[in-house]
Amino acid sequence: MNHVDPELDRPSEECGVIGISTPGSDAAQNAFFGLYALQHRGQEAAGIAVADGQAVRVHKDMGLVSQVFESGTLDPLVGGLAIGHTRYSTTGANSERNVQPYVVETMHGPLGIAHNGNLVNADHLREQLLQRGAGLSSSSDSEVLALMLAATEGDSWEHRLSKVMGEWRGAFSLVVLCGTKVIGCRDPWGFRPLSIGRMPNGGHALASETGALRTLGCDNIREIEPGEIVVLQGQMARSFQGVAPAERQARCTFEQIYFSRPDAIWDDLSVHQVRQRLGAAVAREHPVDADMVMPVPDSSMPAAIGYAAAAGITYNEGFVKNRYIGRTFIEPTDELRRQGVALKFNTLNDNIAGKRVVMVDDSIVRGTTSGPLVRLVREAGALEVHVRITCPPIAHPCFFGVDMGTHEELIAHHLSVEEIRDHIGADSLGFLSVPSLMGALEREDGYCNACFTGDYPVPVQLQLPTTSKRRFDGVLV
């Protein structure tokens, strides 16, 4: 068996963004701690750009936030305005030229931009820029946003932003830095999150998640509305509607299921409480006689608690996760490679042995890790292993900034639930239905569920697989 990284069978969020306006000169330090709180949203690269009223300085590189910003690297980043970015690559390859923030010189002065999301019309916009003679240095759609904004006429950056936003189709939560202000905006569909809070010193901060704002000591935290533009300047913050909200709102359901930290508040909902309700919902929808409920840590822990409470079954931990393994250039030996997920997970055998176990997880994407996890639980002595997933089957790719994989790579696009159950070796398998998912969110609509349903809120160019057959873990299916 090939070595399997459990994180590769998870949807991957593109990035996290932060924006700071503070009366002092320590905006870079605040941006660093804000990004540190957003590290889970991207582990490939990080960067911070700072303005002091005139110049814009940037430091960015490949690696984790704590690796990119070592002792002394923040010292040159002096100023009271900052934006930051931590990246997971979706559009654009994972390379140094795609690391954000982007900083460009314009006729109106220096401009920095950091972007969370993905434009579905990026190729068309890139072609228009090339025809006008623009020089593109990366393959990321975020650079397209920066150059379009730089080329737009208007009497202020926020005015230019409001003019160009109508040309962008898809997901974009932006933080923009110029010499004298930080600007934030959110797409009219509301795909990706962005919130604002007031800092203890009287300044303001923007962040992809409310938990990062709380890390900075912010109060008066609220969500930026779809289509809204917020301008931070000194201790002042003002906002206006840049474009009208889309008639069909499309918040990403996976922010609630998996991406956001459990301490986040989004759409006026506690993510932790939502995940408990998701677990309770799948317990009601797919009941089973069992002795123990265990999560696949860490994101599924609230859901497993909710499942256990609703089912009246004992909750206990069955996995111990190595949270520090990260990515390494040291290849495991053949023996370790054969152990697969044991590099990241060990089992608590005394908790599992002799029991009928319900293993709760948040998703199955490519189908590469659920089977090895089930085998680990069986090897620990479980009599039965029942898998419960707190979202519907992921059968369609995402075009709005989440790496779900292609149609060809998604196991639920090719196999039925019973075939997936057989493939992973579980005694039973239950996915949450879309109605039950929305019930747990206590919403009738307003969310994007396209990865489950194939109903995209913005028209996309589908690239359907050339064959309905592919190999999963070396097995032709």
Q: Give the Cα separation of 126 and 122 in Å (integer).
A: 6
The SS3 of residue 425 is coil
Q: How far apart are CA 318 and CA 281, in angstroms?
A: 22
State how far the Cα of 431 lies from the Cα of 365, in Å rounded to an integer.
Answer: 12
Asked if 2 and 334 touch (Cβ cutoff 8 Å), the reply is no
- DSSP letters, 142-186, are HHHHHHHHHH---SSHHHHHHHHGGG--EEEEEEEE-SS-EEEEE
Q: How far apart are CA 87 and CA 44, in angstroms?
A: 6
- Reference 100, options 15, 171, 165; nearest CA is 15
Count Cα neighbours of 23 within 13 Å in the Cβ-side half-sphere. 8
Q: Which DSSP category does 298 fall into?
A: T
DSSP three-state, residue 221: strand
Question: What's the CA angle centered on 29, arms 25 and 32, to 5 degrees?
Answer: 145
Helices 157-164 & 141-151, crossing angle to 10 degrees? 120
Q: How far is residue 396 from each of residues 392, 428, 462, measured CA to CA in Å?
A: 11, 23, 10
Judge if the upstream peptide bond of residue 298 is cis by omega within 30 degrees of 0.
yes
Kindly state the DSSP code that residue 243 receives in the 8-state scheme: S
CB burial string 91-112: b at 16+ within 10 A, e below: bbeeeeebbbbbbeebebebbb
Set 15, 178, 252, 451: catalytic member: 15
DSSP string, 7-60: GGGS-EE-EEEEEEE-SSSBHHHHHHHHHHHTGGG--SEEEEEEE-SS-EEEEE
Establish whether 451 is a catalytic residue.
no
Side-chain half-sphere CA neighbours of 42 within 13 A: 32
Tell me the C-alpha distance between 77 and 96, whole Å: 20
Instruction: Give, in order, the Cα–Cα distances in Å from 250 to each of 65, 192, 270, 304, 421.
Output: 30, 9, 18, 27, 31
Active site residue ranges: 15
